[in-house]
Amino acid sequence: MSLLTDSAPAVPRRRSAPLVALGIGAFGIGLSEFLIMGLLPQVARDLGVDLPSAGLLITGYALGVTVGGPALAIAASRLPHRTVLVLLMAIFTLGNLLCAAAPGFWLVLAARVVTGFAHGVFFGTGSLVAQSLVPPHRKASAIAFVFAGLTLATVLGVPFGAWLGQIHGWRGAFWAVTAIGALGFVAIALFVPRSAPGAPLKARQLALFLRPAPLGALAMTALGYAGVFMVFTYIAPLLTEVAGVPGPRVALHLLLFGLGIVGGNLAGGRLADRWPGAAAPLSLAGLAAGLLALRLALALPVLVAPAMLLFGLTAFATLAPLQARMMARTPAGADMLGATLNISAFNLGNALGAWLGGLALAAGVGLPALAPLAALLPLGALALAFVRERT
């Protein structure tokens, strides 16, 4: 049975084309976010800045997602969803074009911030469109299908960027992403169905986001992903210095993590479709277990590779359930903003996790303690879910 249909063979083609178009856009946007990590030394040398300054290209993008995304969602709330998606792909494509052609560092940084604006709103709006294309019992799987583009970009982004950078330079990598963005623009314009215009958001709708249900859902997302990135930010030294993995094999372990996140994302969508109320708590408990399993495996070299696969699976199995949970708790008429805010919460969790990991190491707890400490964060999100459901 197809992921996208229940019966007639003509149905999946009608539903799959717009989902594939959204997946292409998601892949390009995810690729733009991650490939810069493998290109920073080249970018720094070519633009005449030091490595910490070049790192602002990552920070600036994240700020664009976290701050600019919700602002853009409010501004675009009255537009039809397809129009929003087409405009976002235009912004994304032009932003990467500017990155590829910009003569100086500050213009590249500005382009990165602007392309970050498109990231959160695209995944938020794309989630809404994907849900509208499938039966009610397949909504979370449709969200996972769109996010599959992001998970593939997570796996391929750093090695793809490094490979292209070696052959064509860092600008060549951004030209490639520009071409993917243009393909996504055309595919969305052709295949995503038309929808009715939205209504501008009012102050009372915005105020509803301060209620416990949406705030709790956002906090769960941020805490869950803080646990992932508290460990993943320092995964290379964990593998080499704690587990004793030889340097050349680190890439293989990261590939296993990547395969895990692709499978975990799709499994999380199926879980949320089958048990919508329990999916987020179950996936958060699984994430905590995956982090603890990784800590145990660090002392047993033969278990490190399967533990990395499990870590990836449990890390991204939370994605669709947390997104679906937030969308179910979004005030009426503010769907685009609610979905976008949750993407911002994912990125806030990334930054929070890296910061907390740095604080822990600076306090002298040592690399082996990161995984069990990180497990406390999804467990905190799980406790929050338990409290919220009973108040």
Q: Which domains does the chain have, with CATH numbers?
A: 10-191 (1.20.1250.20), 203-388 (1.20.1250.20)
Name the residue type at position 141.
Answer: S
How far apart, in Å, are the Cα atoms of 189 and each of 81, 86, 87, 122, 144?
11, 6, 10, 14, 21
Q: Could you write out the DSSP letters of every residue in 359-387? A: HHHHTT--GGGHHHHHHHHHHHHHHHHHH
pLDDT tops 80 at residue 387: no
- Burial per residue of 337-366, b for 16 or more beta-carbon CB atoms within 10 angstroms, e otherwise: bbbbbbbbbbbbbbbbbbebbeebeeeeee
Q: What is the pLDDT of residues 251-303, one digit of tens each?
A: 788 888 888 988 998 899 888 888 888 899 999 999 999 999 999 999 888 89
Q: In the predicted model, is pLDDT for residue 3 greater than 70? A: no
Cα separation, 16 vs 4, whole angstroms: 7
Pick from 73, 52, 178, 170: which is nearest to 119 by CA?
A: 73
Predicted confidence band of residue 203 (pLDDT cuts 50, 70, 90): low
Which of 12-18's residues contact partners 24+ apart within 8 Å by CB, and which partners? 15/133, 15/134, 17/191, 18/129, 18/133, 18/188, 18/191, 18/192, 18/193
Q: What is the pTM of this model?
A: 0.76
Kindly state the helix (H) or strand (E) to which residue 103 belongs, with its residue range.
none
Percent of all residues in the chain with a pLDDT value above 70, rounded to a whole number: 92
Give me the mean pLDDT over the 336-353 stretch: 84
